[in-house]
Structure 1
Amino acid sequence: MDDDLAAEMRAKRLQQLIQGRREYLNLRQEEVAERLDMSARNYGNWERGVVKEWTDEKLFHLADALEMTESQVARLFLIAVDRLPPADTRPVSGREHDGDPSMDAFLYDYAAMMEALSLPTFLIDQRWEVRMANRAYRNLFRGLRHHPTAMPTDNFLRFGLLHPEASAILVDFQDWQLSMLAQLATSLERNDQDTELHMLRREVYLRPTLRNTYLDDMQTWVLGAGADLVHHDGKARIIRHPDPLIGLRSCRLVEETPRPLQARGLARITLVLTELGEETTVESLCAGAASCSV
């Protein structure tokens, strides 16, 4: 009975993901079936989860037809076959290089390279804990009031979700938080035994506004944008630098991680800061933000 209930719940989640994505794209079942080179009836069975066996080929074809992002493909596989897609290049935890002098030398040189960059850049692990950051990143958050668990030099997600002064820096704050909550959900799916991630979600649940966003708004957002803060849509958000000569800037998160860092479960994120377009006004940036000082 428990197995039947679990299968029923899995099929329902799969239908919500596939149908929700199709409706987000404003596609009819017939149009998706055409992309898959199959009958609308057979595609209808796919959407309802009535499939004898979900093969990797079927799932990848379905993901292509529904124009899914990398994070959405991962979610599709997790729901359909209870694992991530093959040939996954996402960083994974590993300690094969611990104590390796050549790796220690690489990390030393890599830190020097990061420090020489003018753009804020930092290394994160699967929890978005900051393992290394350059001076430009630290300067971005200088003057920030100390918080025991949510400093940006400790954990980027915790900072954006829990620090009371985060909205002073992350200007279009609701959009920043929405994408961070989606990243938290994805990280939990990929690392469901991680107690620190579960603890962060519990802290989110203790805050009614964040809890409602996580349970309601974030699910809708994921159908359109994908759950990955770094890759989901290449969207530029707005950030406020404490240096008045820099001030408001457009900020795009870019990931560029060499293989030695991937092997250690790390990813490098760079905050690419550029001038705002002429059409952007301070009022439009502050709209919807939790707080905004001008």
Structure 2
Amino acid sequence: MANEAGVGCTGGQGQAGRTGSARAAARPKRPSELLGRRREELGLSLNDVASRLGISPYVYATWERTPVKDLDDDALTAVMGALEMDAVQRARLRHLAGERYSADADRAPLRPSGPVPPSAPVRRPAPARPPGPLHPPVPVHPPVPAPPSRPEEPADPATQAYLRDYAALMDAVPLPSVLFDRRWDVAHTNPAFDALFRGVGPHPTAMPHQNFLRFVLFHPDAPRVLAEHDTSWCLPLMAQLAGLLEGEPDEVLQAVRDDIALDPIMDAAYRCGLPLWMSAVGAEAIHHDGAVRPVHHPDPRWGTTDCRVVDETPARLEAKGYTRLTLVLRENRSATPGVRQGKTRLRAVSGG
């Protein structure tokens, strides 16, 4: 009977109503469906999109299966760019994610501008509503893990005050400096540190101001800043991670190890290459303090240069599990002939 009532409208209107209903039924109703359908329209595989985003196919496949509202804004913007979405598709995705966006900012005009000729009003039947209260849909998939957050402030007011004053001290230092806890969750970075990593693109879990270990290991832009990335930065931090995992169990650090295992090359480097590298360079090479490591500074006044890593952690913060590192930059060596540039991917076995 409902169909007969719909056909009872004027002929053209009834046909338009049926066409609109068909289009609405074909439209994806969940953000995950919109991502998968758009990827298929472009003829892209999961690997193709993951390569554009600089993440693993496993991680991107997880994004397609989970609510888009659980992605942070940087990751959502990156996905829309990788899938080459136009303004209408972006607005549709954000609408399905449950966010509010103004039509004039994110939605392309659906009709040409200019006056619209008047037309007689058309009376449409009111849509039928089911009896009883409407309930929100039950989510089908579990949410993705939230990006790592900054360490919680100590409960001790005296320590909180000390950290605030110590942050002011770090900001006054003209060299890149960072303060992180035993899990490498970053508590504070100074302006010089932010300037060193200013060209780094978005990433949901591995930004340099979030977790320095994850940035070094997983961010595709890390080799653009950290020269000789594998041997000077990845392997020393992997060795420190392995040492911590041998001690008291820690779910957060174990999660980093699990993410390493998802990449066959990184996993082979951790299991096989790391012991060989440590036997070749010695145990002292894994420590930060005093190590000389190369960087690519975006400021041409520094360019590609070496920096000495200096551990400046005061005893009071060290007792709380914090570490403060300062990178003492040296004179620009970009023009020096014969400078070896670092690889952008870990090898399964690397001795230095």
- Which TM class, normalised by the smaller chain length? 0.5 to 0.7
Q: TM-score, normalised by structure 1?
A: 0.60
2:236 aligned with 1:179: yes
* Displacement of 1:258: 1.1
* Displacement of 1:225: 2.4
The superposition leaves residues 111-152 of structure 1 with CA deviations (integer Å, 9 ceiling, x where unpaired) of 110000011111111111111111111111112111001111
* Amino acid corresponding to residue 181 of structure 1 in structure 2: M
Name the CA shift for 1:136/1:202 in 2 (closer, same or farther; >3 Å): same
* Displacement of 1:285: 2.6
The superposition leaves residues 197-256 of structure 1 with CA deviations (integer Å, 9 ceiling, x where unpaired) of 111011111111111111111112223322764348x43111011112221120222112
Name the CA shift for 1:289/1:148 in 2 (closer, same or farther; >3 Å): closer
2:255 aligned with 1:199: yes
| 1:285 pairs with one of 310, 317, 340 | 340
In 2, Cα distance between equivalents of 1:146 and 1:102: 35
Does the Cα contact within 8 Å between 1:236 and 1:253 map onto a contact in 2? yes
Name the CA shift for 1:103/1:228 in 2 (closer, same or farther; >3 Å): farther
Give the 5 Å matches for 1:60-139: 98-139=154-195
In 2, Cα distance between equivalents of 1:115 and 1:133: 8
Q: CA RMSD in A?
A: 2.5
Name the CA shift for 1:146/1:109 in 2 (closer, same or farther; >3 Å): same
Q: Which has the larger radius of gyration?
A: 2
| 1:163 pairs with one of 206, 219, 231 | 219
SS at match of 1:286: coil
Give the 5 Å matches for 1:1-294: 98-175=154-231, 176-190=233-247, 192-223=248-279, 224-226=281-283, 229-231=286-288, 234-275=290-331, 280-281=336-337, 284-286=339-341, 288-290=343-345
Does the Cα contact within 8 Å between 2:304 and 2:333 map onto a contact in 1? no
Name the CA shift for 1:225/1:280 in 2 (closer, same or farther; >3 Å): farther
Name the CA shift for 1:284/1:151 in 2 (closer, same or farther; >3 Å): same
Name the CA shift for 1:120/1:278 in 2 (closer, same or farther; >3 Å): closer
SS at match of 2:178: strand
Q: Which has the higher helix share?
A: 1
Does the Cα contact within 8 Å between 1:230 and 1:254 map onto a contact in 2? no
Q: TM-score, normalised by structure 2?
A: 0.50
Does the Cα contact within 8 Å between 2:303 and 2:332 map onto a contact in 1? no
The superposition leaves residues 18-69 of structure 1 with CA deviations (integer Å, 9 ceiling, x where unpaired) of xxxxxxxxxxxxxxxxxxxxxxxxxxxxxxxxxxxxxxxxxxxxxxxxxxxx
* Amino acid corresponding to residue 274 of structure 2 in structure 1: M
Does the Cα contact within 8 Å between 1:186 and 1:228 map onto a contact in 2? no
Name the CA shift for 1:262/1:157 in 2 (closer, same or farther; >3 Å): same
In 2, Cα distance between equivalents of 1:184 and 1:228: 14
* Amino acid corresponding to residue 340 of structure 2 in structure 1: L
The superposition leaves residues 57-86 of structure 1 with CA deviations (integer Å, 9 ceiling, x where unpaired) of xxxxxxxxxxxxxxxxxxxxxxxxxxxxxx
* Displacement of 1:166: 0.7
In 2, Cα distance between equivalents of 1:260 and 1:185: 26
Does the Cα contact within 8 Å between 2:305 and 2:334 map onto a contact in 1? no
Percentage of pairs with the same residue = 40
